[in-house]
Structure 1
Amino acid sequence: MQTGQPAKMRQLKLALRAAFPRTVPVMVGYLFLGAAFGILLESKGYGFGWAALMSIFIYAGSMQFVAVDLLATGAGFLQVILMTLMVNIRHVFYGISMLGKFRNLGAKKPYMIFSLTDETFSLLCTAEPPKNVDRNWFFFFIALFNQLYWIVGSVVGGLLGSSFSFNTQGIDFAMTALFVVIFVNQWREAKSHVPALVGLVCSLVCLLLFGADNFILPALIGMVVLLSVFRGRLDRPEEGAAT
């Protein structure tokens, strides 16, 4: 019992140290955007406590920004449900692609499902722990770190929001820049660039066909269909490298 406990603590420390560097790009974006959310929420009359609670229990990024307007206008329950479904329906596809990685997570699985944001999903797609690091704890700490960054940013923003105000127009571009950084990192580390190219082509085609406001869902459907159809061919190089 006593010998097992230090071994487990050592395992947790190794996973924590391995996960943190992976989340640094997300930390920069989440602290900034979380602060913007906290400031915006405070400007509508909701203090930093509300920002903390929303970031802990909702933790939906873009949906939290939308929720600020819904709270301010007194939207109905059904409207909130439909809006949340429209904004976050892409997470259904994220979850499907994570079924394999989440299969053996045990008690950590519900939290991993809850905390699967865009950025966490991007990191988990390519992140692989070092040989001496527990895979499940490595994934868990990536997700946990990311949410902690968002909570801290939103609380700080809520606290600062009552002291001063500024024009937040264009502040959401930081999220776009964060996605570019993550994409470039994945491109450099991935053995095959085919999935990334499929995603780019599907997004561009759907953007031209459906417009900027409606292209995300059809683009995701197209990616899932194409990657599912050609999954066997995409997996073959990895199987050959393993042997």
Structure 2
Amino acid sequence: MGSTPSHETPQWRTALRAAFPHTIPVLTGYMFLGIAYGVLMNAKGYGPLWSVLMSAIAFGGSMQFVAISLLTVAFDPVQAFLLSCMVNARHLFYGLSMLEKYRGLGKARIPLIYILSDETFSLVSTVEPPENVDRRQFYLSISLLDYFYWVGGTALGGFLGDFISFDTTGLDFALTAPFVVLFLEQWKKKENRPAGAIGIGATVLCLLLFGADNLVIPAMAVIVAILLGGRKKLCT
């Protein structure tokens, strides 16, 4: 009683099939990016186990690349904490904007919040599940697929690092690739272009005012202020 009939496809499998096509751009980006991270970790003396543990537990994306340098110098916990807050401050805004999206999903919100990344946020915030797909299973499928892409790419890069020897200078620039792809996908929709233009303008302004090392939090604050201000005007 209550079991799924043999002729019916389980909800999670249906959701997985519906979610996978949306994650293909993330798959291509995360695999190459994860490989790059694994190779860089190996080049610094940290084998596949350490790189996979970092990706599986920390799952910090850009912060993981920053952490490579932190692991190879004298440990400064205060600097590491402040730098982590600066690099990952954007997730505060991501989380706030996902409150309504994840409402009513029960315990699924815990893994959804834990493995939320830039690319996953971009997908989940714009893609709606098909009518025949459970909303919770759909969002979980997207998030878990992206998570395993990253961890899998890291593992592959960590193992390849033992057999490949080359100059890794500039390899961390691969971090930019997924953001470019996702931005272009968003730009194709006319209704998304004003938000994209606001993001570019705010980022350039804060880059000029605060410099490349301190622009993240001010840029996010300016973007949120503009979007909230525009929303209030539309509602009045």
TM-score (norm 1): 0.88
Q: Which residue of 2 aligns with 1:222?
A: 222
> Does the 8 Å CA contact 2:186/2:193 hold for their aligned counterparts?
no
Q: Kindly report which structure 2 residues correspond to 1:49-198, keeping only aligned pairs within 5 A, or say none.
A: 49-189=49-189, 191-198=191-198
**2:203 counterpart SS class:** helix
Q: Kindly report which structure 2 residues correspond to 1:4-83, keeping only aligned pairs within 5 A, or say none.
A: 4=4, 10-83=10-83
> Does the 8 Å CA contact 2:62/2:175 hold for their aligned counterparts?
no
Hey, what's the Cα distance between the residues in 2 that align with 1:192 and 1:160?
39
Question: Identity rate of aligned residues, in percent?
Answer: 47
1:170-228 superposed Cα distances (whole Å, 9 cap, x missing partner): 33333323212211212224635322222122122222222222222111101111111
Hey, what's the Cα distance between the residues in 2 that align with 1:7 and 1:199?
48
Hey, what's the Cα distance between the residues in 2 that align with 1:196 and 1:36?
28
TM-score (norm 2): 0.90
Q: Which residue of 2 aligns with 1:241?
A: none
1:9 Cα shift? 5.2
Hey, what's the Cα distance between the residues in 2 that align with 1:133 and 1:163?
43
**More displaced, 200-209 or 118-127?**
200-209
Unpaired runs of 5+ in structure 2? none
> Does the 8 Å CA contact 1:59/1:115 hold for their aligned counterparts?
yes
Hey, what's the Cα distance between the residues in 2 that align with 1:63 and 1:8?
43
> Does the 8 Å CA contact 1:126/1:190 hold for their aligned counterparts?
no
Hey, what's the Cα distance between the residues in 2 that align with 1:97 and 1:190?
21
Say if 1:206 and 1:230 are closer, same or farther in 2 by CA, change over 3 A.
same
- How many residues are aligned here? 236
**1:73 counterpart SS class:** coil
Hey, what's the Cα distance between the residues in 1 that align with 2:197 and 2:4?
46
Say if 1:235 and 1:158 are closer, same or farther in 2 by CA, change over 3 A.
farther
Unpaired runs of 5+ in structure 1? 237-243
| Structure 2 residue identity aligned to 1:57 | I
Hey, what's the Cα distance between the residues in 2 that align with 1:102 and 1:110?
10
**More displaced, 202-211 or 24-33?**
202-211
Question: Is 1:207 matched up with 2:207?
Answer: yes
| Structure 1 residue identity aligned to 2:97 | S
**2:130 counterpart SS class:** coil
**1:165 counterpart SS class:** coil
